[in-house]
Amino acid sequence: MPARLLTLLLVVFSLTVTTLPAASPTGRWSGSWSSSSTGHHGPLRAKIRAVDANTYRALFAGRFAKVIPFVYPAKLQRVPGTSNRYHSSTRLPLLGEYRMTATVTPHQFNATFRGKKDLGVFRMSR
């Protein structure tokens, strides 16, 4: 009898466990960026669209030194085995390779970035 009860409980429990949906970065985001290496910071916006279930195209736009605008594209790839983590590696003219790792929730986009001589964060919401 105890074995049947245990089996029944396991079946009921397995039916109630659900997988969380992937946190999609698709859409418009706004917030700020800051560099811990240089102390620079500024506003940041992003527009992100899905390419497939694990790949997204992002266009980031912001300001450096309050008056110098910048725009750069990036391809975000979902980190295998996760539902809300993404990584990107983008070569920027004159600045070299920049790598980013982001964690996305339905309302927050938080990322760290690293370049040859730079390290910082993106903090955005929608």
Q: Quick one: CA torsion of 110, 67, 97, 111, rounded to 10 degrees?
A: 0
Residue 15 lies in a domain: no
CATH number, domain with residue 27: 2.40.128.120
Report pTM. Answer: 0.78
- 7 in a domain, yes or no? no
Provide the pLDDT for residue 21. Answer: 54
Looking at residue 72, what is its pLDDT?
Answer: 86
Measure the CA–CA gap between 86 and 115, rounded to whole angstroms. Answer: 17
Could you list the pLDDT tens digit for every one of the 126 residues in the chain? Answer: 555 544 544 444 444 444 445 678 999 999 999 999 999 999 999 999 999 999 999 999 999 888 899 998 999 999 999 999 999 998 888 888 999 999 999 999 999 999 998 999 999 999
Q: Is residue 6 a part of any domain in this protein?
A: no
Residues spanned by the domain of 47:
20-125
56/74 Cα distance (integer angstroms): 8
Between CA 110 and CA 120, with CA 115 as vertex, the angle to 5 degrees is 35
Name the domain count of the chain: 1
